[in-house]
Every structure is written in structure tokens, then in C-alpha cells.
Amino acid sequence: MVIESPLLAFLIVAFAVAGSMLVGAKLLRVRAKHSSPLKPTTYECGESPAGPAWVRFHARYYVVALFFVVFDIEAAFLFPWALVVREAGTAGLVAVFSFVAVLMVGWLWAVKKGALRWQ
């Protein structure tokens, strides 16, 4: 068997449980006797909806998303090092710290510029 098989088994059961709950609900649900054209309308506080929700929308955290990518990649580099901190010793510390220091300078600059503030 491949090494991942216990994980695969767990995920299969997890999604089967979630899926079977939906199927069970489909079998047991009560069907409405009368349908109304108003019932399946989108909820908007009782008014008829003013247009679809799929419109251009200002995502106010564009810079935050960029920063997330930067720090996520930082973490991707840190994880392998985290396992061998003892073996890597002082040389490893110096290398990783200079890398993180460069990132943190970028972070400081963004804070100074107010780039991370809600716009």
C-alpha cells in the first residue's frame, strides 16, 4: 500500500459522511405542496433583488493579498529549516535571519506608507 493510504481512507470517510448527510436530507425532505414564483428569489430584506450580486466589487485588501503571498512563501522556506535548526546551527541562523530581515524591512516600509491600512 502507498504511505498515504491511511490519510486517503480518512478523507474518503470524511467526505462520505458529509455527502451522505446531503443525500439523506434529499430522501427525507418535505416537498412543498404549492410553489410560488416568489419563494426562490434571492433574499434582500423582503424587497425584490436589485440586480445580481455578480458585479465588479472593490476588494479592499489587494495589498494584503500580495503580502500574504510574500509571507506564505517565507513560511514555505522556513518549514524545512525548522526541522534542522539544531543541525544548521549558527550558520543557518545567520542565513535565515538575513532573509527574514529583508522581508521585515519591506513590512516596515508598507506600514510606514500605510499600505496595510483599510482604504
Partner 1 sequence: MNAFLEALLIATVIITVLMTVTAWALWFERKFAARMQSRLGPTMVGKSGLLQPVADLLKLLQKEDILTTHADGLLFNLAPVLAAGAAIGAAAVVPFAPNIVGANLDLGVLFLLAIGAVTVLPVFAAGWGSNNKFALLGGMRAIAQSISYEVPLLLAALVPVILAGSMNLGEIVEYQSKHGWFFAWPFFLGIPAFVLFLLAMLAEANRIPFDIPEAESELVAGVTTEYTGMKFALFYMAEYVHTLVASAVAAALFLGGWDGPFAPGLHWMVAKTLALFVGVYWVRWTLLRFRSDQLMRIAWYFLVPTGVALVAGTAVWVVWRS
State how far the Cα of 11 lies from the Cα of 112, in Å rounded to an integer.
45
Exactly one of 36, 72, 77, 112 binds partner 1 (CB under 8 A); that residue is 72
With helix as H, strand as E and coil as C, how does 16-85 read? HHHHHHHHHHHHHCCCCCCCCCCCCCCCCCCCCCCCCCCCCCCCCCHHHHHHHHHHHHHHHHHHHHHHCH
Nearer to partner 1, 104 or 109 (CB): 104
Nearer to partner 1, 21 or 109 (CB): 21
User: What is the footprint of partner 1 within residues 28-67 (CB under 8 A)?
Assistant: 28-32, 39-45, 49, 52-54, 57, 59-61, 64-65, 67
State how far the Cα of 39 lies from the Cα of 46, in Å rounded to an integer.
11
Instruction: Report the interface residues with partner 1, using CB under 8 A.
Output: 1, 4-15, 17-19, 21-22, 24-26, 28-32, 39-45, 49, 52-54, 57, 59-61, 64-65, 67-68, 71-72, 75, 78-79, 82-86, 89-90, 92-93, 96-97, 100, 104, 107, 111, 116-118
